Amino acid sequence: MWRLRRAAVACEVCQSLVKRSSGIKGSLPLQKLHLVSRSVYHSHHPTLKLQRSQFRTSFHQFSSLANLPLRKLKLSPIKYGYQPRRNFWPARLAARLLKLRYLILGSAVGGGYTAKKTFDQWKDMIPDLSDYKWIVPDIVWEIDEYIDLEKIRKALPNSDDLAKLAPDFDKIVESLSLLKDFFTTGSPGETAFRATDHGSESDKHYRKGLLGELILLQQQIQEHEEEARRAAGQYSTSYAQQKRKVTDKEKIDQLQEELLHTQLKYQRILERLEKENKELRKLVLQKDDKGIHHRKLKKSLIDMYSEVLDVLSDYDASYNTQDHLPRVVVVGDQSAGKTSVLEMIAQARIFPRGSGEMMTRSPVKVTLSEGPHHVALFKDSSREFDLTKEEDLAALRHEIELRMRKNVKEGCTVSPETISLNVKGPGLQRMVLVDLPGVINTVTSGMAPDTKETIFSISKAYMQNPNAIILCIQDGSVDAERSIVTDLVSQMDPHGRRTIFVLTKVDLAEKNVASPSRIQQIIEGKLFPMKALGYFAVVTGKGNSSESIEAIREYEEEFFQNSKLLKTSMLKAHQVTTRNLSLAVSDCFWKMVRESVEQQADSFKATRFNLETEWKNNYPRLRELDRNELFEKAKNEILDEVISLSQVTPKHWEEILQQSLWERVSTHVIENIYLPAAQTMNSGTFNTTVDIKLKQWTDKQLPNKAVEVAWETLQEEFSRFMTEPKGKEHDDIFDKLKEAVKEESIKRHKWNDFAEDSLRVIQHNALEDRSISDKQQWDAAIYFMEEALQARLKDTENAIENMIGPDWKKRWLYWKNRTQEQFVHNETKNELEKMLKCNEEHPAYLASDEITTVRKNLESRGVEVDPSLIKDTWHQVYRRHFLKTALNHCNLCRRGFYYYQRHFVDSELECNDVVLFWRIQRMLAITANTLRQQLTNTEVRRLEKNVKEVLEDFAEDSEKKVKLLTGKRVQLAEDLKKVREIQEKLDAFIEALHQEK
């Protein structure tokens, strides 16, 4: 039974394998099999139906490479008995392996492997670019997140659309051929060009082609454009010429004025920066750090002496004293050659010049010293002018002229202020010279009336110094009788102990003077009524301002070598040339310095002792502060007081702003808004009137009033901090300065222009709101309304009292009587009050019949009254009646918040006036808060900036400081500072002078 089952199972397996194109390979014992056992057999073969395997067979499923269906095998005829068959299996295996499909498959696998290895090698050769990924922006890697590339691709035109946009190459070829024919000989284009020159007959032929027509049109357009441009150019040229004639002169004047103002402005800025630089440099030099040894620069003797003279010059100008230290004073008539002599001594053309015009408008102190380079610099500037370069020489002359014009005050021609200039160069003699304005005999137009006297006073101030060397310059080309300066010099130095006479322009004198002995008399001191230490004759050029110093010196030496004056012994060799003159002046200068400097040092020591004693006796507990130091102290105090503005509490700001704003607008609110609206008998009319008037008020007046109140409040607080006493430590010496700074800062400060616009919006929104949220706001509005009405009622009572005079109590107690006018007013008041008692809801205006009734009633009692007087009295009486009624209504509205909140309609208790005053109160609070923010955030800082600018301007203005910081203490401190500085510099100079000996 089990065998049948196994056969059935095997049959089913075989059927399934046949359906899947598979076969079965069985392993059975060889002796038990059928003759066809060595061939592949099928389970459905008829010869196998009766054959059943006695043993368990192992089945192996296999499939061919091509998965082909099994062919029906051709079986050999069955022969009974055993017939062995030899099968050569290696040959069959080789045949299978050598089939073409295996070769192709193998080569594909090998080639793929080789290609993969080659690709990996190439990939290893490529550098790793991931380290440079940071160079590319992140937006490139994320571009697909932001840009829809597919959408862009769809939006682009396709090939058909691009083909439509492409040019028509056939038409282009045709146009190029026409152009080629046009430029060839005998072409229509050439004929067209000839047509433009020869006539209308060829013009027809020209227009045959399209290109010819275009060229003709272009030529016509160009002709019309040229005509239009020519006409417009002629019109504009004529108009511009007329306008230029009118405005050229104005432009020139305006540009010159602007240039002068700009130069002066930058000059002030430059001086301020140089001053700051000098102070910082002084602080750095004074700083003595431990472990650091500063190298002390050794100054030359003449530089030290020049510094002493500079300090003395400031001291003399400020305190009207005169030192007795030596200096060479160069004086002479105008255009006598003073400046030329000084330039020959300095070996540079450093001064501005003009033929016959006054160029020296203030004294110029020139300190000459020897140095490796020929340079010049001012004492208050670090810029060096190279005197070997013409550009620097021109700049130096321009700078000297600018400084002279700056020193000259308005309405004057000359100034006593000194310009200090240091000149260094090889071969220069060490000395200090002062070039003074030339002495004049007549004041010409354009000069100040006191110019002559001022020049004389300046010259006398320098020459009256007993140790000053007077270098008297006389023009040799003019008559000696026309000299003015010789009389002045003879008055200052009658014995001639410190005067050196210099005759200039000797070359012209030798040509023009008929008698050469006259020149000899001048040099020997016999012609002029004056005496001198020495007499010199010099030649300072041929009158050409562009001549160099070397050319002038060569001309001078050549002249004196060939001069008859020397050949005939009228002049001695040591009396001629500027070189001998400079040597003689230098020797005389240093001789005078050594004789007088120690005496001057002793006099300043005595002055210093006296000043220090006076300070100790008068101000024993105060530190010696000069004017500049006091100004710095006051500056710090003022800035601290401005800073204290930012420490005012916000609550204080808002309280004073709200109070000040209400005081400013209360009259308008009550008189122009509340009282007219309250006359209406209807609640809706009241609200409409109020809204219209509030809108008009907000648009036109309220923001401007608010800004004015805020600005006045800021001024009051700033003034309070500036003027309130600080106790015992308060120094009244700064009061004038603080007041001036306060006034100038307030004058410069302007409120922000955009504040009104922002305030207008905020105030409009605040007044639009009518919603009172809680009972506390309601009570606050009623209290605010009562205060306002009580104040108005009090004012009205006072007005009525002044109108009717004293009552019976004051008449009996204070013995006062009423005037006739007051009596009439009182009777009229009483009559009007009777009428009001009869009709308490009387309107605000009296009717004409009511006025007549009142007048008749008064006349019946013997009181004559004018209708205008009745109206005036009625205004005050009715005003008092209305205010009392409003106060009573306000008291009733205390319990009206519930009705207001529930929107009850009760004609007896309509509190619209309370809502109005709540809106006003809320607007005041919001406005005060907004203004407080503007004050603390913006305006206080801007005011502080203005104060700093004012203080900087005052610091640069020495006259302002002298005017604002006054008093005996200030002057005494200034004297002490100057005298100490002079004495210290004199001691250092004397020590250096002894070392040189």
pLDDT average, residue stretch 414-433: 88
Confidence bin at 601 (pLDDT 50/70/90)? confident
DSSP secondary structure code for residue 21 in this structure: T
The β-bridge partners of 364 are: 419, 435
Same fold, 337-454 and 464-584: yes
Confidence bin at 665 (pLDDT 50/70/90)? very high
Q: Which amino acid is at 376?
A: A
Q: What is the pTM of this model?
A: 0.54
pLDDT higher than 90, residue 292: no
Bigger pLDDT: 303 vs 143: 303
Residue 83 makes CB contacts below 8 A (sequence gap 6+) with: 35
- 8 A C-beta contact, residue 638 and residue 951: yes
pLDDT higher than 90, residue 924: yes
Fold (CATH) for 464-584: Rossmann fold (3.40.50)
Over the stretch 609-654, which tens digit does the pLDDT of each residue have?
998 999 999 988 888 888 888 999 888 888 888 888 888 889 999 9
Does the domain spanning 337-454 belong to CATH 1.10.260.40?
A: no
- 8 A C-beta contact, residue 720 and residue 742: no
For residues 557 and 564, give the distance between their C-alpha atoms in angstroms, rounded to a whole number. Answer: 13
- 8 A C-beta contact, residue 625 and residue 633: yes
Least confident of 176-180, 884-888, 932-936: 176-180
Helices (H), 701-819: 702-723, 735-748, 755-768, 775-804, 808-814
pLDDT average, residue stretch 322-330: 81
Cα 658 to Cα 96, 508, 930, 934: the distances in Å are 115, 88, 11, 14
Over the stretch 935-992, which tens digit does the pLDDT of each residue have?
888 888 888 889 999 998 888 888 888 888 888 888 898 888 888 888 888 888 888 8
Over the stretch 674-698, which tens digit does the pLDDT of each residue have?
988 888 878 888 889 999 999 999 9
Angle at 627 between CA 622 and CA 629, to 5 degrees: 65
Over the stretch 29-72, which tens digit does the pLDDT of each residue have?
444 434 333 334 344 444 433 444 444 444 344 443 444 444 44
Least confident of 294-308, 551-565, 734-748: 294-308
> How do the domains of the chain map onto residue ranges?
2-83, 337-454, 464-584, 643-954
Q: Which of 273, 517, 304, 488 is nearest to 383 (CA)?
A: 273
Percent of the chain clearing pLDDT 90 (strictly above): 10
pLDDT higher than 80, residue 108: no
Give every strand in the sheet of 499-504, ordered side by side.
385-386, 375-378, 419-425, 364-370, 431-435, 328-332, 469-475, 499-504, 534-537
For residues 881 and 842, give the distance between their C-alpha atoms in angstroms, rounded to a whole number. Answer: 10
Cα 469 to Cα 303, 325, 500, 706: the distances in Å are 19, 10, 8, 72
Strand pairing class (23-25; 60-62): antiparallel
Over the stretch 481-534, which tens digit does the pLDDT of each residue have?
677 888 888 888 888 888 999 988 888 877 776 567 777 788 877 777 778 888
pLDDT value, residue 215: 59
Confidence bin at 706 (pLDDT 50/70/90)? very high
pLDDT value, residue 684: 85
